[in-house]
Amino acid sequence: MAAVYLVFAAEFAQALFSNTRPERLPWYLGLHAAYLVLYTAVMWRPAMRLELLHLYFALQSLTVTGLLLLNPQLGTVTALFVLLSFQAAFFVTKTTRWAWVGVFALLTAGPLMLSLGALAGLARALMPMAGSLVLAAYVVANQETETARRKSQVMLNELEEAHRQLQAYASQVEEVAAIEARHRLARELHDSVSQTIFSIVLNTRSAQILLERGPSQVRPQLERLQQLTQHALAEMRGLIAQLRPAAD
């Protein structure tokens, strides 16, 4: 924006101090003031309906054409069409923007060719015409780059969110798997120890009976009972060790 207003200030200063007939100076000042007010209004209020934008560009085109007809020798006035091309590229989309850029290019050459002759006018108009096209192309390319960057950022954010969700799902799956493993080990502990304890109970009952009827046979039974007890204790320790978390 600072560069745009510097261009306008330079053009206005050249027009103000040029060899313009005094009776035409108020027209110069008035048309420049109208151009600046309209240009600033659009720059600070870009959310304008398309119909109003078209009306604005039409009015600005008439304003600059009037300035060119007042003094065709003042070639710096054509810079105002370059600034309008910048606005058209910035605020109008698709083919409409290039249509306006083409109109500005034709209006740059038309008054000059009419006043200075075809070849002289065209030669004077070629530089600002090229500037209008180059500036508009630069603005469009910059907008497309910015749009692509925004889309890439959105995709990156979506990928990061998906990655976070996958991590959460993986954590949940691991937790569910750990719970299922613990349930399985708990069932194995219950089944194995229950069977061993049942055997211990049977052997204890047998030892009690043998103690009354055949004391000589109690010793092997007690040894068997000790083996079962040690086996049950080992199984319980092994299964409990598997139930502990990995960090332990």
**Confidence band, pLDDT 50/70/90 cuts, at residue 100:** very high
Question: Which pLDDT does position 248 carry in this prediction?
Answer: 46
pTM of the model: 0.58
- Fold for domain 177-243? 1.20.5
Task: State how far the Cα of 213 lies from the Cα of 188, in Å rounded to an integer.
Answer: 37
As a three-state string, the secondary structure of 136-184 is HHHHHHHHHHHHHHHHHHHHHHHHHHHHHHHHHHHHHHHHHHHHHHHHH
Question: Which pLDDT does position 99 carry in this prediction?
Answer: 92
Nearest by Cα to 115 from 55, 160, 75:
75
Task: Name the token pair of 19.
Answer: 């060899």
Would the pLDDT of 247 be above 60? no
Question: Which pLDDT does position 104 carry in this prediction?
Answer: 92
Question: Which pLDDT does position 190 carry in this prediction?
Answer: 65
- Who has greater pLDDT, 243 or 221? 221
CA 168 vs CA 20, 155, 162, 163, 181: distances in Å: 76, 20, 10, 9, 20
Q: Would you kindly state where each structural domain of the chain is located, as residue ranges?
A: 2-154, 177-243
Task: Name the token pair of 159.
Answer: 């990928």
- Who has greater pLDDT, 245 or 64? 64
**Confidence band, pLDDT 50/70/90 cuts, at residue 55:** very high
Would the pLDDT of 246 be above 50? yes
**Confidence band, pLDDT 50/70/90 cuts, at residue 19:** low
Task: State how far the Cα of 207 lies from the Cα of 225, in Å rounded to an integer.
Answer: 9
